[in-house]
Amino acid sequence: MADIMQKIMNGDIEGVRNVIRRYPTIINRPHAFGETPLMWACIQGIDKRILEILIEAGGEVRAKDVGGLTALHWAVAGCRPEAVELLLSRGSNINGKDNRGGTPLHSAANLPREWTDVVKELMKHSALEVNPRDDNGQTPLHLACYRGHLHTVDLLLGHNGIDANVVNNDGDTPLHWAVRDRKYKVVCAMLKQVS
pLDDT for res 46: 78
Q: What pLDDT is recorded for position 195?
A: 60
pLDDT at position 75: 97
How would you classify residue 115: left for phi > 0, otherwise alpha for psi between -120 and 50, otherwise beta? beta
Q: How high is the pLDDT of residue 1?
A: 57
Query: What pLDDT does residue 3 have?
Result: 87
The ranges assigned to domains in the chain are 1-93, 97-195
Domains 1-93 and 97-195 share a fold: yes
* Pick among 3.30.420.40, 3.40.50.2020, 1.25.40.20, 3.10.450.50: CATH of 1-93: 1.25.40.20
CB contact burial 160-178 (16+ within 10 A = b; e otherwise): eebebebebeeebbbbbbb
Residue spans of alpha helices (H) in 44-149: 48-56, 71-77, 81-89, 104-109, 116-123, 140-147
> Does the predicted TM-score (pTM) go above 0.85?
yes
Q: Look at residue 194 in the predicted model and tell me its pLDDT.
A: 67
What's the pLDDT tens digit per position in 18-49?
999 999 999 999 888 889 999 999 988 778 99
Query: Which superfamily does CATH assign the domain made up of 97-195 to?
Result: Ankyrin repeat-containing domain (1.25.40.20)
Run means of pLDDT, 10 residues per run, the chain, 195 residues: 85 95 92 90 88 97 97 96 97 98 98 94 96 98 98 96 96 97 96 78
CA–CA gap between residue 172 and residue 158 (Å, rounded): 21
Task: Look at residue 32 in the predicted model and tell me its pLDDT.
Answer: 82
Please write the tens of the pLDDT for every residue from 132-142.
Answer: 999 999 999 99
